[in-house]
Structure 1
């Protein structure tokens, strides 16, 4: 999952407000979350991946330094076994700061977080 994090309309990673060292992710499901900064669609973004994702709900608290934070709640389901690559987790629902995001309206697979 990719997240572009904006504050006052500006990407916080692009303009030096925060770096990858400032990001702390608390995964309340005790899964191993991997976090790093990446360029997605030529924009700096926070990328969260977990090789252990399976069907279920996952909750993350993301802190940026001492001043800013946001929460992510996700639901994953597994693709049908009848498909070519069955049993692969795919995102079916996401909430950012308790606001449900319409997955059909997400541009380029990158979610926007407004601090």
Structure 2
């Protein structure tokens, strides 16, 4: 190649010299890195009026893969019946609680009726 002559380029390539091995990251690469390492966003919002705190909102957001979350001890979705598909257990517990409430309320009503008879 003669002095002052630029190297030949193919279509779509730039003649500018490469600066290291840095390639632009696409969204998929960024997401993979975030899920692999995890990302925590935390913040507080406070509303004050004349030095009186009216409202405080604490925001905590964790973005991570399931494996990364398990490694740091976060696994609440495994025991959440709505997420694990164990809704039959919830339905059974709900029926048992409703039956217990009815039993307690009917017992209270009977006791009130007996109290009125005794007066």
Interval of TM-score (by shorter of Structure 1 and Structure 2): under 0.3
Decide which structure has greater helix share.
2
User: In terms of Rg, which structure is larger?
Assistant: 2
Decide which structure has greater strand share.
1
